[in-house]
Amino acid sequence: MDRPVGSAHADPRTDRLVDGLLAAGTAVAVLAVTVRLGGRTDAAGTLPLALWLGALLLMRRHRPLAVLLLSVQAVVVFRTAGLIDDGWVWPSSAAYATLAADDRPGRPGLPWAAGVGLAQLALAGAWETSAGGATVREALGSLGPEALWLAVLLAVATAHRNRLRWRAELAERLLRAARERDLEAGRRIAEARLDIARELHDVVGHTLTVVGLQLRVAAEALDDSPEEARDALSTAQQVRTEALRDLRALVHVLRAPGEGPVEPTAGVSEIAALVDRMRSTDLEIRLKTAGDLAAVPAPVSLAVHRIVQEALTNTVRHAVATRAEVGIQCGNDQVEVHITDDGRPPAQQPAPAGHGIRGMDERVRALGGDFSAGPHAKGGWLVRAALPVPGFRP
């Protein structure tokens, strides 16, 4: 539904009040100007015309063109019938301004107002030079001020229309900017939730797996090899301490987001210790590295650590594997990671990818890298990731 002409608010009571005041003001102005120009104000001429022109303005917001045409028609009829002595354009000033200021889309109000005004002036000139007996010079002298008044009136109305459009466009831009800020805030919240979910999954899942593995080793070696059982319990305690440290860092980010993130405690340099904790009598793990691991940037270093951590955790929990290999190569503008094992899938149908594989993929994609996980051509399972590090050389 189109917005009424010139309405800068949505209060219909205010609109009706403005229209009523404009109608009354027009009626009074027509009478006053007629008196000022020395014209007649009898009940058969100026008075009914003034009331009619004022009454038409009550529907100017919804039918501005009809209001102007009816106003012009009334002025022409009264003037050519000799019921009034002065005025062609100025009695319909409010109707002209309303149509010219029409800012509704698809409504060419200004061209219509200019066209009707020119037609009325042409008709007035023809009538005054024929029926009125005036010369062309006299007709131009009489209609010149009215033509100038029409031009000023249309210019002011156009400026008002442009101001309304500017305000509407500004409000739309502000609303669009607010929506974009809300969308950006929602996107950031969603990304933060994904980061938290990945960290919780990786830290908790790895900790429970390693602690369970070491407790099993301790239980099996408790009678025959107390020293080995003691080492296993010490490893479990160490893993628990590291997990608590990572969880405290995560909670700190949640409680005090404005203070900035806590530096990650996990990285490429801790992968050797991670591999040592994951080794057992049932699973042999080899680690191969190439390049300067210490030069890997912190975000990439954390991602590499979490990928190795989750891949080995999945090997321990889900694969029937005896050997695994972790390879990390730094250089040529990227860090390449691969984790393979010789495990065999269980007899039942494999389940769809869980949170661990999805989390690894999200980590790599967020850093602009490539990730893949699936059966290895030589048997077993392969997890591979390549993370770009521009300008990095071995």
Q: What is the structure's pLDDT at 349?
A: 39
Considering the domain boundaries, does residue 351 fall inside one? yes
Same domain, 45 and 171: yes
- Domains held by the chain: number: 2
169 with 48, same domain? yes
- Which H or E element spans position 285? strand 284-290
Q: Specify the pLDDT at position 337.
A: 93
Whole-angstrom CA distances from 63 to 2, 19, 66, 92, 95 are 12, 13, 5, 15, 10
pLDDT of 317: 77
- Look at residue 67 in the predicted model and tell me its pLDDT: 92
With respect to residue 18, please indicate whether it lies within any of the assigned structural domains.
yes
pLDDT for res 394: 52
Asked if the structure places residue 223 within a domain, the reply is: no
Burial of residue 133 (number of CB atoms within 10 Å: 0-12, 13-18, 19+): exposed
For residue range 118-151, list pLDDT tens digits in order. 999 999 888 888 877 778 888 888 888 889 999 9
Whether 333 maps to a domain, the answer reads yes
Find the domain containing 153 and state its range.
12-180
Is 100 within 8 Å of 67 (Cβ atoms)? no
Is residue 384 within a helix (H) or strand (E), and if so which, with residue range? strand 381-388
Clarify whether residues 163 and 41 are in a common domain: yes
Q: Which of 180, 215, 246 is the last residue of a domain?
A: 180
pLDDT digits (tens, 9 = 90+) for 218-237: 777 777 777 777 777 777 77
User: What is the pLDDT, as a whole number, of residue 327?
Assistant: 92
With a cut of 50, list the residues of the chain below it in pLDDT.
1-2, 8, 261-262, 346-352
Burial of 111 (0-12, 13-18, 19+ CB in 10 A): exposed
Helix ranges restricted to H, the chain: 12-36, 46-56, 64-80, 93-100, 109-130, 136-221, 226-255, 271-278, 298-318, 355-366
Same domain, 272 and 170: no
Q: Do both 277 and 152 map to the same domain? A: no
Give the end of a domain, one of 145, 164, 180: 180
Query: What pLDDT was estimated at residue 347?
Result: 45
CATH of the domain at 361: 3.30.565.10
Residue 76 forms part of a structural domain: yes
- Decide if 211 is inside a domain: no
Residue that has been written with the tokens 């001429």 in this structure? 45
Rounded to whole angstroms, the Cα distance separating 334 from 391 reads: 9
Position 148 in a domain: yes
Average pLDDT of every residue of the chain: 80
Strands 284-290, 323-331: pairing is parallel
What's the pLDDT score for residue 283? 83
Q: Kindly state whether residue 199 falls inside one of the protein's structural domains.
A: no
The pLDDT value recorded for residue 336 is 92
End of a domain among 138, 160, 180? 180
Residues 5/64, Cβ–Cβ less than 8 Å: yes
Q: 159 and 277, same structural domain?
A: no
Report the C-alpha gap between 117 and 73 in whole angstroms.
12
